[in-house]
Amino acid sequence: MAIETISQSWGSRVGGAFKGILVGFVLVGVSIFLLFWNEGRTVKRTSALKEAARVVVEAKPSPLDSNLEGKVVHLTGDAVSEETLVDPYFNVSVEGIKLSRKVEIYQWEENVESSTSRGSGGSETTKKTYSYNKVWSENLIDSSNFYESGHENPSTVPVQSESFIAKRVSLGDYVLSDSLVEQTGPSEPFVPDQAISTNVKENENVPDVSGADSSDASDDDQAPVDPLLDLNNEAETQDDKTNSSTLAGFVKTSDGFYKGTIDTPQIGDMRVSFELVPPTAPISVISQQSGDSFVPYKAKTGEVELLEFGIVDANEMFSRAHRSNKLIAWLLRLVGFVVMSLGFATIFKPLAVVADVVPFLGKFVGAGTGVAAFCLALAVSCLTIAAGWIAYRPLVAIPLVVASLAAIVYPFFKGKKSK
């Protein structure tokens, strides 16, 4: 744990606050663009889904009906793959639709807690407390900018998370498009029962398990050495969790592979696990029939291609797509509003900092600018959302405009009433 104390004079705070005005305007501009774009995206997606729902027809996985060529079809059945998926690094092989390798690295993570106090004359002191803990993460954590030294993370890893997808997945007489195959799931945990490596460079330091000098054996008697064969079958019987099979420093475990010290993980240790979409999986599809496969349906306002795991009727699939579209819309609206609030707060910050030369006055002005930033962000957000909808849904836009005007007028009305 480390503590950093940063002190700023009133003058430097004022200068920094005025410099931040430009950042505030950038944040407001970005939020306006995001909110406007989001409304257009939402309307277009809704319109595309409704158009597809009007023309969708039911189809059967087999036999393939050529009369449905070019039409939006809904069909359910088992997605089937006869391919063997191979992880080339660990040489794990299994039949399935999608094999996912998950690689996690044991690393340092930095956490920062800040507290700020203000002194006389507008000065400000910020106290930052840095703490460090060890976590498993799929992504490399950059430790070069850590405040305290002695918490170095690895900068590279020999292998990363990756997915391997079957090239041909059938649904009755149909062949799923790549975009549909990528949507198949969910995956289930998969534990490889064996892994054979043929990459000599990765395994050049693996001990020879043949039990004899290879130079003394004839070509007929010399069997290929499998670096992942169990070196101690008796030990493996006693402990199912680990064995002494190795691959470039990795140890085979009950969950997958491990590189490092299993019982007491150290920084830089790696653990590898796998997930698999089995070779047969029930799915439901809405897409446009193209020959014996599918392509996304190109509606007037966007493409539509849906896949659900399990047997789901067309109405329910469209309902779920609409709910997902609305959820994304509201999340982006919230993000846009928060960013805009931060932008206006940054623009108004110089007022509070200038007044902070008198601590009581600074707090009062700061509270006032906070309320003003919130109300202005609410007003501009509503106006932006209304502008995004007005071309498509004027009946929805009008109430939003009224709400925006109310948000603008309310602070002035409230101020006059207080006086």
Confidence check: pLDDT of 237 > 60: no
Top pLDDT among 227 and 250 is at: 250
Q: What is the pLDDT of residue 355?
A: 72
pLDDT value at residue 243:
39
The tens digit of pLDDT for each residue in 34-55 reads 999 999 899 899 999 999 999 9
Residue 196: pLDDT over 60: no
pLDDT class for 20, splitting at 50, 70, 90? confident
Instruction: Give the predicted TM-score (pTM) of the model.
Output: 0.72
- pLDDT number for residue 414: 59
pLDDT, position 311: 94
pLDDT over 60 at 205, yes or no: no
What is the structure's pLDDT at 187?
Answer: 85
Instruction: Identify the pLDDT of residue 207.
Output: 37
Most confident of the following: 113-122, 125-134, 290-299: 290-299
Whether omega for the bond prior to residue 350 falls within 30 degrees of 0, making it cis, is no
pLDDT (0 to 100) of residue 362? 65
Q: Looking at residue 35, what is its pLDDT?
A: 94
The pLDDT assigned to 258 comes to: 93
For 345-372, the pLDDT digits (tens) are: 999 888 877 777 666 676 777 788 888 8
Task: Report the pLDDT averaged over residues 110-137.
Answer: 82
Using pLDDT thresholds of 50, 70 and 90, give the confidence band for residue 419: low
| For residue 264, pLDDT beyond 50 | yes
pLDDT-derived band of residue 154, with 50, 70 and 90 as boundaries? Answer: very high
Q: Taking all residues of the chain, what is their mean pLDDT, rounded to a whole number?
A: 82
Greater pLDDT, 242 or 303 = 303
The pLDDT tens digits of the residues spanning 376-405 come to: 999 899 888 888 877 667 776 677 667 767
- pLDDT greater at residue 23 or residue 399: 23
**Position 245 confidence tier, pLDDT thresholds 50, 70, 90:** very low
pLDDT tens-place string over residues 296-325: 999 999 999 999 999 999 999 999 999 999
Which segment, 89-93, 133-137, 189-193, 244-248, is predicted with the most confidence on average? 133-137
Instruction: For the chain, give the percent of residues with pLDDT over 70.
Output: 77
